[in-house]
C-alpha cells in the first residue's frame, strides 16, 4: 500500500492560501496537515479556528489538525466543528489523555496522539486500544524547516512493533524530504508530513509521487 502524504500548511504561501490548497490537491496530496500552536506548549504561534473554518470551506481534502497546545481538551469541540477530520493532541499536554480521546470521539473525529522526541514509545502503551494515529515528531515541535532527527527512526520501529495487530497508523512529522523519507518508511511510517520540501518544489506532483512510492 502506498504511503499517504500530508502537506504541512506552515510552509505554504499565506498570501495565496486558496491557491496553495488547490496546488496540493492537484499534486495528489492526501491530507492537509494543520498545525495549531499556543505559544506555551511550543515557543511559537500559528493557525487558529478562523483559518481552519476558511480552509474547510475551501477544500474537500482530509484535514489533519495537530494541536501543539497545553489544554487540548478545552478546544476539541471548536476544532471538530470547524472542519477537522483527525485531531491529534500531545501526550505531554496538560489535559488527561483518556478524557481528551473520549471528547474527540464524541465530536466525530479520528483520534491521534503525538509524542515529542524525548518521550519514550512505551508511554503510548495505555492508549493503543483507543486511537487511530500515532504522530512521531522527528524534530522538536514548534517550527518548520528543521532537520530530521535520525535517532527517532528507532522509535518509529519500536512503535511499529508495539501496534502489531491493531489498526493504528504511524505518522511522521519533521524534516521529511526525499532523502529522509525512505528511512522513516522503512522503519514503519504510514503517513509522511512534509512542509518546506513540498512547497519549495516547482513540480509538487513529482515530489509527492516520489514520497508516496518509497518502498
* Collapsed DSSP state (helix, strand, coil) of residue 160: helix
> How many CB atoms neighbour CB 88 within 10 A?
29
CB-based contacts of 123, cutoff 8 Å, min separation 6: 91, 115
The stretches of the chain forming alpha helices (DSSP H) are 17-26, 49-58, 76-81, 97-106, 153-162, 181-187, 196-199, 204-212
Pick the catalytic residue from 35, 64, 177, 190.
35
Catalytic entry in 64, 173, 177, 190: 173
What the block records as the C-alpha cell of 114 is: 503525538
Beta strands 110-115 and 4-8: pairing type?
Answer: unpaired
**The C-alpha cell of 193 is what?**
508530513
How many helices (DSSP H) and strands (DSSP E) are in the chain? Answer: 8, 8
Q: Is position 173 annotated as part of the catalytic site?
A: yes
Q: Are 84 and 65 in contact (CB under 8 A)?
A: yes
Instruction: Give Cα 12 distance to the centre of its chain.
Output: 15
User: Is 30 noted as a catalytic residue in this protein?
Assistant: no
Query: Which residues does the annotation mark as catalytic?
Result: 35, 173
Amino acid at each position: 500500500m502506498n504511503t499517504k502524504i500530508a502537506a504541512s500548511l506552515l510552509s505554504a504561501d499565506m498570501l495565496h492560501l486558496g491557491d496553495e490548497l488547490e496546488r496540493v490537491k492537484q499534486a495528489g496530496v492526501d491530507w492537509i496537515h494543520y498545525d495549531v500552536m499556543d505559544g506555551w506548549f511550543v515557543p511559537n504561534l500559528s493557525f487558529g479556528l478562523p483559518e481552519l473554518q476558511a480552509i474547510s470551506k475551501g477544500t474537500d481534502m482530509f484535514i489533519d489538525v495537530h494541536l501543539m497546545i497545553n489544554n487540548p481538551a478545552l478546544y476539541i469541540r471548536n476544532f471538530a466543528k470547524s472542519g477537522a477530520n483527525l485531531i491529534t493532541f500531545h501526550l505531554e499536554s496538560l489535559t488527561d489523555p483518556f478524557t481528551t480521546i473520549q471528547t474527540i470521539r464524541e465530536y466525530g473525529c479520528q483520534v491521534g496522539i503525538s509524542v515529542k522526541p524525548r518521550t519514550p514509545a512505551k508511554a503510548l502503551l495505555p492508549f493503543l486500544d483507543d486511537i487511530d494515529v500515532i504522530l512521531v515528531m522527528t524534530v522538536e515541535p514548534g517550527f518548520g524547516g528543521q532537520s530530521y532527527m535520525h535517532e527517532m527512526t528507532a522509535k518509529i520501529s519500536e512503535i511499529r512493533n508495539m501496534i502489531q495487530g491493531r489498526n493504528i497508523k504511524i505518522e511522521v512529522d519533521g524534516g521529511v524530504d526525499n532523502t529522509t523519507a525512505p528511512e522513516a518508511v522503512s522503519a514503519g511510517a504510514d503517513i509522511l508530513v512534509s512542509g518546506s520540501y513540498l512547497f519549495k518544489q516547482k513540480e509538487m506532483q513529482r515530489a509527492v509521487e516520489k514520497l508516496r512510492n518509497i518502498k
